[in-house]
Amino acid sequence: MGQALGCIQVNQSKVAVREQFGKFDNVLEPGCHCLPWCFGYKIAGELSLRVRQLEVRCETKTKDNVFVNVVASIQYRALPEKISDAFYKLSNANSQIQAYVFDVIRASVPKLELDAVFEQKSDIAKAVEEELAKAMSTYGYEIVQTLIVDIVPDVHVKRAMNEINAAARHRLAAKEKAEAEKILQIKRAEGEAESKYLAGLGIARQRQAIVDGLRDSVLVFSENVPGTSAKDVMDMVLVTQYFDTMKEIGASSKSSSVFIPHGPGAVRDVASQIREGLLQADYAKE
């Protein structure tokens, strides 16, 4: 400090408290100052004007009986115009601030439920700041900012909250999955209905084309071959289709064995059975 030479240097962002014969005399600003020790002057100590930060962790209980750890960050500094109060009135600023933070948090949080504590974090910080500003100004300190930086519930409560949240999300996912499955089934049913409808139209058109082709064949054959009746032509067409079917069955390598009569008399019987079926259908319509 250089007091032996009668001078002192005060660094930037600091002030020095000068006493004379043990009594407060003056506050020395940053720079070089004369200090004639022979007249009883001495430096009692230095005080920083920088903003300091103190983190306070306070355990308390909410209204719904959940224990939480509230972490508050207090930013404060000594007021230049009240350096003597800050230096002489308060021996430990950190302990004083911590006591006030405990008092305010333990008076505010028990009035709120756990969810409300998270939602009203800024209100709690504002209450702490107002109480600290009113109390610490008496001791020469200014509260710059008060923040609630963390709210940590008990580990079992946190696990239960996570499980509740996970269950809610699983329930929502199951609902969405069921809704998606429902839409898929509806679309699948609509597709099958449309497919069957189109298949029915195709079969109807196929049968209509077969009927039209048979009718045209009978008419053309009757006109070109004198003495033949429509019955003779139909018998010939049926016999032709019968042999074509036999040929396809025999040509297919994966076809099952089919035992049917294949003599000329059997063919006549087949034609008679088909004709009788058609006649019975016409009779039933009448």
Residue 261: predicted pLDDT: 55
Residue 232: predicted pLDDT: 66
Beta bridge partners of 59: 69
| Whole-number Å distance between alpha carbons of 180 and 158 | 33
Helices (H), the chain: 83-88, 93-108, 114-119, 121-136, 155-224, 230-251, 264-285
Residue 274: predicted pLDDT: 60
Q: Which two tokens stand for residue 268?
A: 């006549």
Residue 264: predicted pLDDT: 53
DSSP state of 255: P
Residue 257: predicted pLDDT: 55
Residue 75: predicted pLDDT: 92
| Whole-number Å distance between alpha carbons of 211 and 173 | 56
pTM value > 0.75: no
Residue 205: predicted pLDDT: 84
| Whole-number Å distance between alpha carbons of 227 and 236 | 15
Residue 260: predicted pLDDT: 55
Which residues in the chain show pLDDT less than 50?
1-3
| Alpha carbons within 13 A on the beta-carbon side of 215 | 6
Q: Which two tokens stand for residue 10?
A: 């005060």
Q: Among candidates 148, 147, 164, 152, which has minimal Cα distance to 66? A: 152
